[in-house]
Amino acid sequence: MEVRALDAQTNPANTGALAALIQCLVAHSAEEAFVPEDPLLTNENKWRATRYGLDATFHDFATGRAAGAREEARDLVRRLRPISGELGCEEELEGVLGIVDGGSGAERQRAVFAKRGSLKAVAEHTLGVVPG
């Protein structure tokens, strides 16, 4: 399993959710059968994640079909719930669903910019400053 440095999170709860997800994935990886991955498709999945974030569609190596990132994340949380119970991070893992449903920090920041047209407004939103 490879885990790369995550983008900085603007919400501490999201940091906990992603840490719980990684913790559960590491614990789960010992239990799940290894599916050989095609390096070309792996690189394509990484590019799509970078380009489209949670709106990406990935190649699912287990099924051989395309899968949306949001649906895959929901399914992953469902499958990891028993492990999160063993590790004591159930609440944090459920926070992944909050990211999936409420949008990533980048999505929320882009929405603020689209609405207010100002990088200052994005910074204020990120810092929790209420515009006066």
pLDDT tens digits, 19-36: 999 999 999 987 776 667
Q: What is the pLDDT of residue 33?
A: 67
Q: State yes or no: pLDDT of 55 exceeds 80.
A: yes
Q: Looking at the 3D structure of the chain, how many domains does it have?
A: 1
Q: Is residue 50 in some structural domain? A: yes
Rounded Cα gap, residues 100 and 107, in angstroms: 11
Q: Is residue 4 in some structural domain? A: no
Q: Is residue 16 in some structural domain? A: yes
Prediction pTM value: 0.82
Expressed as residue numbers, the domain containing 67 is 12-103
Q: Is residue 77 in some structural domain? A: yes
- Rounded average pLDDT over 93-120: 93
Q: Over pLDDT 90: what percentage of the chain? A: 67
Q: Is residue 2 in some structural domain? A: no
* CA quadruple 126, 5, 63, 84: dihedral sign: negative
Q: What is the pLDDT of residues 90-99, one digit of tens each?
A: 999 999 999 9
* CA quadruple 30, 35, 39, 40: dihedral sign: negative
- Helices and strands, counts by H and E, the chain: 6, 2
Q: Is residue 112 in some structural domain? A: no
Residue 59 vs residue 1, higher pLDDT: 59
